[in-house]
Amino acid sequence: MVEIGRKKPNVSELSRISDRVSFLYLEHVKINRRDNAILVTDEQATVLVPAAIISVLLLGPGVDVTHRAMELIGDLGASVVWVGERGVRQYAHGRALSHSTVLLQEQARLVSNSKMRVSVARKMYQLRFPNEDVSKLTMQELRGKEGARVRKIYANSSKTTGVAWDKRQYNPDDFTSGTPINQALTAANVALYGLSYSVVAALGLSPGLGFVHTGNDLSFIYDFADLYKGEYSIPIAFNVVKNLQPDDDIGRITRLAMRDAFVDGKLMVRMVKDLKYLFNTKEIERIESDVLNLWDDKEGLQKFGVAYDLRTED
């Protein structure tokens, strides 16, 4: 029985992020609340999940969640993201995982300074070239190097699968107008964007503040997802087309293939690790804080909750 008058937990009672389940994905279940636990029920079983160990709750298709359950999740500072199967699409999200804006502020600081922005962009490219030093390359040189890398991945995937490859060409407004391989690549990339968005949103970062891409509300999502396309989107798309049957729904089959690649959660863990690296954050839990300050352009951060007297003494 739900305890309606349950006291909201104090900050000191919440578990550290490092002690929590990183991501909990649920689909085709009913989610309710029992005391300070999440009650998860489907046709086969009922499971109680201590809410304090949840950091990010991914709600997939067929989820029915009660208001009381959402209240508990919100009180405990967990992030909620409504997604497609296994996170392949991102539809909406609630609060960020951290109460602090430190990561967001760091992202804004780095993207607002040309030298710092280039430095982060180089780190993104360094992740793709782990055996080479790209710290001295210009953005133009980095783009050229990345273009050559991606073309090689396309060529190798084509050779391995026997799927013909010409070039990446698609109409975002007409999915079916593309060739089968271009359709599969589009579907795979959308799935990867969804997972990337879920992680970025959960950590409180801005999807729009990109370092390589710019001018779009998803610029950073494109930046971030590009780190993993060579390992996930491209080879999976080519394998889907290789095994495609005449009546197959290529979009659905590709999404399912991406879902299966995400199922063990290792990519999510890797994404969090890579974000720590990009923003020089050693411990994600260190950025979590309930401290709210007032900003002053001359005196720095000021305490919140103080009745400041706006009058000045003569």
Annotated binding-site members for Mn(2+)? 146, 213, 226
List the binding residues.
146, 213, 226
Instruction: Identify the helix (H) or strand (E) that includes residue 129.
Output: none
Round to whole Å and give the CA distance between 214 and 208: 8
CA end-to-end span of the chain: 63
Three-state SS at 89: coil
Asked if 93 and 201 touch (Cβ cutoff 8 Å), the reply is yes
List, as one string, the DSSP characters of 155-220.
Answer: HHHHHHH---------BTTBGGGS-HHHHHHHHHHHHHHHHHHHHHHHTT--TT--SSS-SSTTHH
List, as one string, the DSSP characters of 245-271.
Answer: -TT--HHHHHHHHHHHHHTTSHHHHHH
Neighbours of 307 (CB within 10 A): 4
What Rg do the C-alpha atoms of the chain give, in angstroms?
22
Asked if 230 and 150 touch (Cβ cutoff 8 Å), the reply is yes
List the 56-59 sheet strands across, edge first. Answer: 24-26, 56-59, 79-83, 90-93
Three-state SS at 279: coil
For residue 134, the one-letter residue type is V
